[in-house]
Amino acid sequence: MKFRVLALATITAALLTGCSGVVTPKVELANHDSDHNIPAIDEMIIAYKTDYINKCYLPVAKKHPPENACQSELFQMLERNYHLDYNQNHVAMASNKLLFKDIDAKIIEMSRNDPEVRNAIRAGAFTSTSEMLSYYHEKYQFDTQVEQY
Protein backbone atom coordinates (compact mmCIF):
# COMPACT_ATOMS: atom_id res chain seq x y z
CA MET A 1 0.00 0.00 0.00
CA LYS A 2 2.80 2.43 0.89
CA PHE A 3 4.54 1.64 -2.39
CA ARG A 4 1.35 2.35 -4.32
CA VAL A 5 0.90 5.77 -2.62
CA LEU A 6 4.57 6.60 -3.18
CA ALA A 7 4.34 5.62 -6.84
CA LEU A 8 1.18 7.70 -7.32
CA ALA A 9 2.81 10.71 -5.61
CA THR A 10 5.91 10.37 -7.80
CA ILE A 11 3.86 10.18 -11.01
CA THR A 12 1.76 13.18 -9.95
CA ALA A 13 4.87 15.20 -9.14
CA ALA A 14 6.43 14.28 -12.48
CA LEU A 15 3.31 15.34 -14.37
CA LEU A 16 3.07 18.64 -12.50
CA THR A 17 6.74 19.35 -13.07
CA GLY A 18 6.38 18.55 -16.76
CA CYS A 19 3.44 20.91 -17.11
CA SER A 20 5.14 23.74 -15.31
CA GLY A 21 8.17 23.85 -17.59
CA VAL A 22 7.54 27.48 -18.49
CA VAL A 23 10.47 29.74 -17.62
CA THR A 24 9.37 33.15 -16.36
CA PRO A 25 11.11 35.85 -18.41
CA LYS A 26 13.24 38.30 -16.47
CA VAL A 27 12.71 42.02 -16.74
CA GLU A 28 15.95 43.88 -16.18
CA LEU A 29 17.08 47.43 -16.75
CA ALA A 30 19.05 47.56 -19.99
CA ASN A 31 22.61 48.86 -20.06
CA HIS A 32 22.95 52.08 -22.02
CA ASP A 33 25.78 54.38 -22.94
CA SER A 34 25.41 57.93 -21.65
CA ASP A 35 23.88 59.19 -24.94
CA HIS A 36 21.05 56.65 -24.88
CA ASN A 37 20.21 56.78 -21.20
CA ILE A 38 16.62 57.99 -20.89
CA PRO A 39 15.34 56.70 -17.52
CA ALA A 40 11.70 57.63 -18.15
CA ILE A 41 11.53 55.33 -21.19
CA ASP A 42 13.28 52.50 -19.34
CA GLU A 43 10.86 52.76 -16.41
CA MET A 44 7.86 52.74 -18.72
CA ILE A 45 9.11 49.70 -20.68
CA ILE A 46 9.91 47.75 -17.51
CA ALA A 47 6.45 48.47 -16.10
CA TYR A 48 4.70 47.50 -19.37
CA LYS A 49 6.77 44.36 -19.83
CA THR A 50 6.29 43.18 -16.24
CA ASP A 51 2.54 43.68 -16.53
CA TYR A 52 2.48 41.95 -19.94
CA ILE A 53 4.37 38.92 -18.61
CA ASN A 54 1.94 38.44 -15.74
CA LYS A 55 -1.31 39.20 -17.54
CA CYS A 56 -0.59 37.82 -20.99
CA TYR A 57 2.67 35.94 -21.64
CA LEU A 58 2.66 33.41 -18.78
CA PRO A 59 -0.99 32.31 -19.02
CA VAL A 60 -0.64 31.71 -22.77
CA ALA A 61 2.75 30.01 -22.41
CA LYS A 62 1.18 27.70 -19.81
CA LYS A 63 -1.64 27.06 -22.32
CA HIS A 64 -4.38 28.34 -20.05
CA PRO A 65 -7.60 29.39 -21.82
CA PRO A 66 -7.52 33.12 -22.70
CA GLU A 67 -9.25 35.31 -20.13
CA ASN A 68 -8.64 38.81 -21.49
CA ALA A 69 -8.07 40.64 -24.76
CA CYS A 70 -4.28 40.52 -24.47
CA GLN A 71 -4.25 36.75 -23.97
CA SER A 72 -6.75 36.26 -26.79
CA GLU A 73 -4.68 38.33 -29.22
CA LEU A 74 -1.49 36.46 -28.36
CA PHE A 75 -3.19 33.07 -28.46
CA GLN A 76 -4.80 33.82 -31.85
CA MET A 77 -1.45 34.86 -33.31
CA LEU A 78 0.13 31.63 -32.06
CA GLU A 79 -2.77 29.50 -33.22
CA ARG A 80 -2.62 31.00 -36.73
CA ASN A 81 1.07 30.20 -37.03
CA TYR A 82 1.53 27.04 -34.97
CA HIS A 83 -1.99 25.73 -34.25
CA LEU A 84 -1.77 24.31 -30.74
CA ASP A 85 1.80 23.08 -31.22
CA TYR A 86 3.44 26.26 -29.95
CA ASN A 87 6.19 26.42 -27.35
CA GLN A 88 7.63 29.15 -25.16
CA ASN A 89 10.00 30.37 -27.88
CA HIS A 90 7.00 30.91 -30.16
CA VAL A 91 5.25 32.80 -27.36
CA ALA A 92 8.35 35.00 -26.96
CA MET A 93 8.52 35.78 -30.70
CA ALA A 94 4.83 36.69 -30.88
CA SER A 95 5.07 38.67 -27.64
CA ASN A 96 7.90 40.76 -29.07
CA LYS A 97 5.54 41.89 -31.83
CA LEU A 98 2.51 42.50 -29.65
CA LEU A 99 4.24 44.09 -26.66
CA PHE A 100 6.24 46.53 -28.72
CA LYS A 101 3.17 47.63 -30.65
CA ASP A 102 1.95 49.24 -27.41
CA ILE A 103 5.39 50.32 -26.24
CA ASP A 104 6.17 52.02 -29.57
CA ALA A 105 3.02 54.13 -29.30
CA LYS A 106 3.88 55.09 -25.71
CA ILE A 107 7.50 56.00 -26.59
CA ILE A 108 6.29 58.23 -29.43
CA GLU A 109 3.79 59.87 -27.08
CA MET A 110 6.50 60.42 -24.47
CA SER A 111 8.83 61.92 -27.08
CA ARG A 112 6.15 64.50 -27.85
CA ASN A 113 4.80 65.22 -24.36
CA ASP A 114 7.54 64.51 -21.78
CA PRO A 115 10.12 67.33 -21.64
CA GLU A 116 12.84 65.05 -20.23
CA VAL A 117 12.44 62.56 -23.06
CA ARG A 118 12.09 65.23 -25.72
CA ASN A 119 15.25 67.03 -24.50
CA ALA A 120 17.26 63.79 -24.43
CA ILE A 121 16.23 63.00 -27.99
CA ARG A 122 17.04 66.53 -29.16
CA ALA A 123 20.44 66.29 -27.46
CA GLY A 124 21.38 63.65 -30.00
CA ALA A 125 20.43 60.37 -28.36
CA PHE A 126 18.81 59.16 -31.60
CA THR A 127 18.77 60.45 -35.16
CA SER A 128 15.25 59.23 -35.95
CA THR A 129 12.17 57.76 -34.37
CA SER A 130 12.71 54.44 -36.13
CA GLU A 131 16.28 54.26 -34.78
CA MET A 132 14.99 54.93 -31.27
CA LEU A 133 12.26 52.29 -31.49
CA SER A 134 14.65 49.74 -32.96
CA TYR A 135 17.14 50.43 -30.18
CA TYR A 136 14.57 49.76 -27.45
CA HIS A 137 13.25 46.66 -29.24
CA GLU A 138 16.75 45.22 -29.18
CA LYS A 139 17.38 46.14 -25.55
CA TYR A 140 14.09 44.84 -24.13
CA GLN A 141 13.00 41.99 -26.38
CA PHE A 142 12.01 38.60 -25.00
CA ASP A 143 14.57 35.82 -25.22
CA THR A 144 13.48 33.59 -28.09
CA GLN A 145 16.02 30.85 -27.30
CA VAL A 146 14.51 29.57 -24.07
CA GLU A 147 15.51 26.04 -23.20
CA GLN A 148 12.40 23.86 -23.39
CA TYR A 149 11.73 21.34 -20.64
Tell me whether residue 12 is in a domain.
no
Give the confidence band of 148 by pLDDT, cuts at 50, 70, 90. low
Mean pLDDT over 48-71 rounds to: 96
pLDDT, tens digit (0-9, with 9 covering 90-100), for 7-42: 344 343 333 334 458 999 999 999 988 778 889 999
Q: Please give the Cα distance from 20 to 17 (Å, whole number).
A: 5
**Number of other CB atoms surrounding residue 69 within 10 Å:** 9
Domain range enclosing 119: 33-140
Tell me whether residue 62 is in a domain.
yes
Q: Please give the Cα distance from 73 to 94 (Å, whole number).
A: 10
Tell me whether residue 100 is in a domain.
yes
Tell me whether residue 25 is in a domain.
no
